Structure 1
């Protein structure tokens, strides 16, 4: 959530950033924010004046009663009663203005970083890095959903029977490979200094609001209505909310967490061939990395996270590229995001497998996550996160890119985790 003083002092910069996002009605909403904030502040000033006058009058009434001047005291009591009514009305006006201002701020996305390219869709994203060679597959090579069926690795029909489409069942070596990837990712992250955490898979509304999933993506989250809880769409939500409402010290930075969680997304409106197999699921596994950073260090931290994910993909020997997301494709809460995509040779297309993002103070403002700086002033921290990594499409790319006429080879780095080097 943007801070109102920032909006007031940097109005043109905010509008330019929202234009880069193609955010509709930006001018009207920003003008409404400024006007509502002015109303809130003027109402607060009037309320403070009335309360001060009421307190002074109450003291005077007490003195009059003490001195026996009952008649004068009763006259002032009548005036005091009117002031109380006025104070109540002003408090209601203030509360309404404050709630309206909050509701307006919840609709405004983060301002993109200056290096975010303009654009309206994923077609306008800019490739900033590419590595790895696309393998030459043998004649008769298959997409991963056919390989999963051929080698009895993943049963999509059984998942549909048990739950519905988008809830696959991993079996045998498919389940073992999935577990191997989870353990490998966690080991890589902890070796890099991230503390492993196990977090709840359901969160309350305050947690969803804190990281920006609510109210922006309410329709995409599974809602357990009877308990008013939400299934997590990503491990970022519970891990970042560990620090909701905290006041940190400067020497607490950096805070680096990693964790494995299943993730749940309704993905309403996702249809077509591009969502076949593991390409788009309602339940999937992911290993996440989260950082809480000093504002002066968050840009450097983002670059470090990008380098870390590059190292993992390099060890898996998968062809991949990194995209700087344009304004129109940028997530609601992010100021700068780098997407990682692996090349799926069996499908002849790129698949997104990780987003590494810096939110700067946007989430921290919602979370009320602050630290005391050297001058003792309470200041908003910066938050960052990234997939390290999302499993379904990594698994799909391994199956497709490592397939041979004899079977599917296992990447060398995963063999100690799987206990086998070939699926046949």
Structure 2
């Protein structure tokens, strides 16, 4: 895509311009609400849930939240990645378009770039590890891409990409570490703001009081393209931006990097949130590490991710992948975030946007995820919170 220096600056106005470029090619994904999940989020955790944390022995937070879910699982290719891919290709020159594009990916970016390339009628070369999921290989090919297999390490993938570029002259379109990708992903925040304001304006029961729509957005963080894009889109608007990551096997590299004051460049994790196993890229890090743009990044356990996913499946009747449940898990279970909402939202509470980043999973994968016994502990706990709150209301 050329040097990042030649791309538009990472500003709110650049995200608006990116949105104008890609609107003809993407879906305006819906924003959904759930009274049940808003009630659960507004119910204090049990003291037992805080054991082993820095908040053990303290009174649980009592935040008030109204949740709004941006459903990028309904985006083209089933994930937000379509936004960045379409914007990246829209920024290419005629000569670059003729030579085509190349990337290495085993997931949503592979499919997104393949679709964007087909839409523009240009070649797409997608380097995928030979161990990639067959359904993802088939989906990428279905969009007309030339799939080339490689080893599973980053060095092996990059070597194949270099060979393709040398042979074809194709332009590399990285999955997250480029301003054009970041600006494209940030367009979902622009839509979400307007959609939530529309919902609040129509539904007095959600608290129409003349305030702006969203107080905060919580989004998953893997390579950081989406989180940095959202932060760029909302910079200076007054809406707080938070990230969420899995903690399993050190997948919370952004959180750890912020604590250490330096970017973590390597992650080796087999978290169920497989879309978030990537370390934050250098350019996304420049945004995420700015406390004026991203307030904090929180980490959640595998059990908490599964509990949040189960709630979305069973209560909202919405199919998402595990990575997409990480933001909701932080809202429900991270006591640090919940205390921020309690302290700053007060009696009025916060309108909190939660990004469902994608829905590329299968019935078989979901079945395997919940096949083991004893995986309902976190969900039972959060439902018990709902029941206890109802009992308190009756007693009053």
**Which structure has the highest strand share of the two?**
1
Q: TM-score, normalised by structure 1?
A: 0.25
Query: Considering only CA atoms, is the larger Rg found in Structure 1 or Structure 2?
Result: 1
